[in-house]
Structure 1
Amino acid sequence: NLNNSTLTNRVTAGVGLNWVLFDGFRVNLTKSKLEQLEELTSGRLSVTIENTIEDVILAYYFVLLQQERLAVLKTVMELSSDRYQYELKRKSLGGSVTYNVLQAQNLYLTDKASFMNQEMVVRNAVRNLNFLMAEDPAKTWIFDELFSADTTKYVLGDLRSKMQASNQTLKNQYTNLLLQQSETSLRESAYYPTLSMGTGMDYTNNWSRVNGSPNVTSNALTPYGNLRLSFDIYSAGVRKRAVEVAQINEEVAQVEIDQMEHALTNELFNLYDYHEVRIALLHVADENLAAARLNLTISEEKYKSGVINSFNYRDIQLIYLNAALQRLQSIFNLVDSKTQLTRITGGFLGESQ
């Protein structure tokens, strides 16, 4: 019966806000952990940069080494060429025989082949340098720097202090330890209660009509606010296990630091010894080359005057060649040891900064 009907309409709306006032320091701990992750990532990138700098430096000096070797081989080849031309003139004047000419020719061609092979080695060294610097393989450079090595001696105690303070790999391990400590604190924060505050407002609109009577409308606006404290009483040991795992990882990180310090210290001592010995070897190589060069000059005059034969002269040429190549290798070895000492003490990024 429509005359006894009741019509009702209700509309409800609300808005609420909730703030977490305390959650066991999770926000601060998470922020700290993310910052440490960023620092660790940056540190690993720094290690890659250091390795790249070391590779480029050694590749550059390797080019200089091969160019100097080329110059030495060119000198020996020119000496062999002069000897070959000398034997040809002597033969044309009746002062030499075919055997001596052929011997001189064979030695000259052997030295020429060595020179040509060394030219290829130089080109390959330049291409390798271009590869490390992400340059086109066909790009050419002018290497006019003097191929030499710094013979400055280091103090082992200073190197060790620099390594402990600036070695990037070791710094990354310390950052990793801080990261594990933050993870432990984050897991322990699960034992704290959570305190939150809520506030809001509800709006209600009621409309009704009974048995055809006039409409009855009511509006209600209700604000509210509350505080909520929650505590996880039992979690079946999940929190305890998470804390134990984090503590184990923290101990592992500390052990890794101790192992790395021990390994780096041992490597530093080895590199320091290599550097000291290579300085002494370079001085020996300088003296050896000076003696070999003087001997070669004297022997050339003796050969042309007939005091020594071609075999003796060739032996002296080889002595000069070996002495010159040994000196060049000594320079490169000294550059290599200095570069490694710079890397292990964090000198590359320190110099760039």
Structure 2
Amino acid sequence: MSINIKILIATVLIVMSINTINAQELLTKDEAIQTALENNYGVKIAKNNVEVAKNNAEILNSGYLPTVTGTAGATYNVDNTEAQFSNGTTTTLSGAESSRYNAGINLNYTLFDGFGRRYNYKILKEQYQLSELQARETIENTIVQLLTVYYNVAQLSDNLETLNQTLAVTKDRLTRAQYQFDYGQNTKLEVLNAQVDINTDSINIINTKQQIKIAKRDLKLVLGEELLQDFNVETEVDFTLQFKKDSLYQNAKKRNVALLQTEKNIAISQLDIKTGKSGYLPTLGLTGSYGWNKSNNNAASFVAVSTNTGLSGGLNLTWNLFDGGTTITRVKNAKINLQTQQLQKENILLTIKTNFENAWDDYQNKLEIYNIQETNILTAQNNFDRTQEKFKIGQVNSIEFRQAQLNLLTAELSRNQAKFSAKLAELQLLQISGELLNVPF
């Protein structure tokens, strides 16, 4: 074999090895969350909204700065003029040319507008903080959605491993049954029963593999990224909730993102009332300008060329004594909107209490079920081990052995479901309490 062929084969083997490693790449929860927050379109949109609100809350959008405008103009005339003077002399001009040029800079600044500008600026600041809370809500929902799909993949992966172990035991049983049949120690029925059970276990594995493919596609969708290579996920789960019920509920009344948004809306509504009342007060403005004018007159004028420059400034006071009731209506509506926001806050507090109680009970129940399932696994495993030993020495038939095997399989699948259901219940509880982003996953 030539050296080039050896190098080519070695290269192919290396590439295949790399592809195999990549195919088994582990996608951790932290990596999945980071990827989702970077690529998820909902999160991107929420971040853009925060940037817009931040720009709106800058001094450049506050109305505190003056406005400066520049103007310029030029006029050119060609006139036919007939001029008659007081001494009776008449002068006729045909095609007399004249031109005028002007330029100026104007300054306008509002010194006082009834504090409307001040309250509007505060509203923009509150809206910026509100947009941050809205982005946080989007992030929390994205994380919960991501981990729901992620744990679905993890549960199916655990199920697949359990089914593979079940199939391996069934294959060993078929080998033993075939061996005993060959030596006349058993009937063909035992072999056929084992083959049927192998087919059943194989079908369960095929279906689970298909479910994993679908679940992984759903996970890629939430990640917002096209992962071309296959990947595995973490199947270990840690329950990180360290809070007592009372302290967690107090956190929910302070940190729940929906409640915080309502409180921001209340603050904005209060400022809206003050902004509306500013319409009752006068507005004081400062104006200033600098101008330059030049005229090139025709022969009929006494002045051939004139140039003017100058500064001007002034104050103007505007007081809208009655605007047809627009300001009165605006203030009334702002007060009603404030009452609406306060009612929404009370409703959200009641909803939080109900959802918290339900989430807490759901988490405690599912955690207890998971612990029971863990104990049940030990019982089912012990029963299977004893049945397997008796099956090997002929004290138990294949039907009883298969039943013990199925009991263990059911216990393991139930344990897997209970584990991830309890974890998702914990996430829901943390989200309601406002602590989702403050604990490790």
Q: Residue 19 of structure 1: SS of its match in structure 2?
A: strand
Partners in 1 of 2:209 and 2:305 — Cα distance? 102
Question: Normalising by the residue count of structure 2, what TM-score does the alignment of the two structures yield?
Answer: 0.70
Match of 2:403 in 1: 315
Match of 1:59 in 2: 149
Partners in 2 of 1:128 and 1:265 — Cα distance? 32
Question: Of the candidates 145, 149, 153, which is equivalent to residue 238 of structure 2?
Answer: 149
Match of 2:427 in 1: 339
Q: Deviations over 1:268-296 (max 9, x none)?
A: 11111122222222221111100100110
Partners in 1 of 2:386 and 2:247 — Cα distance? 47
Aligned ranges 1:1-353 → 2 under 5 Å:
1-2=84-85, 3-4=87-88, 17-143=107-233, 145-150=234-239, 154-200=243-289, 225-350=313-438
Are the aligned partners of 1:131 and 1:137 in contact in 2 as well (CA < 8 Å)?
no
In structure 2, stretches of 5+ residues that fail to align are: 1-83, 92-97
Q: Which amino acid aligns with 2:284?
A: L
- Evaluate the alpha carbon distance shift between residue 189 and residue 317 of structure 1 in structure 2; reply closer, same or farther with a 3 A threshold: same
Are the aligned partners of 2:427 and 2:436 in contact in 1 as well (CA < 8 Å)?
no
Give how far 1:215 is off: 6.7
Two-structure CA RMSD over aligned residues (Å): 3.2
Are the aligned partners of 1:81 and 1:108 in contact in 2 as well (CA < 8 Å)?
yes
Q: Deviations over 1:152-185 (max 9, x none)?
A: 5530122112222222222111112222222222
Are the aligned partners of 2:241 and 2:426 in contact in 1 as well (CA < 8 Å)?
no
Q: Deviations over 1:25-53 (max 9, x none)?
A: 12112212222222222221221111111
Give how far 1:216 is off: 10
Q: Which amino acid aligns with 1:98?
A: K
- Evaluate the alpha carbon distance shift between residue 250 and residue 98 of structure 1 in structure 2; reply closer, same or farther with a 3 A threshold: same
Q: Residue 320 of structure 2: SS of its match in structure 1?
A: coil
Are the aligned partners of 1:130 and 1:139 in contact in 2 as well (CA < 8 Å)?
no
In structure 1, stretches of 5+ residues that fail to align are: none
Q: Deviations over 1:10-67 (max 9, x none)?
A: 9897765443221111211221222222222222122111111122223222222111
Give how far 1:333 is off: 1.3
Partners in 1 of 2:150 and 2:367 — Cα distance? 20
Question: Normalising by the residue count of structure 1, what TM-score does the alignment of the two structures yield?
Answer: 0.86
Q: Deviations over 1:296-327 (max 9, x none)?
A: 01101212222222222221111111111111
Partners in 2 of 1:134 and 1:204 — Cα distance? 62
Q: Which amino acid aligns with 1:34?
A: L
Taking CA–CA contacts closer than 8 Å with sequence separation of 6 or more, which of the two structures ends up with the larger relative contact order? 1
Percent of aligned positions that are identical: 24
- Evaluate the alpha carbon distance shift between residue 203 and residue 128 of structure 1 in structure 2; reply closer, same or farther with a 3 A threshold: closer
Are the aligned partners of 1:268 and 1:341 in contact in 2 as well (CA < 8 Å)?
yes
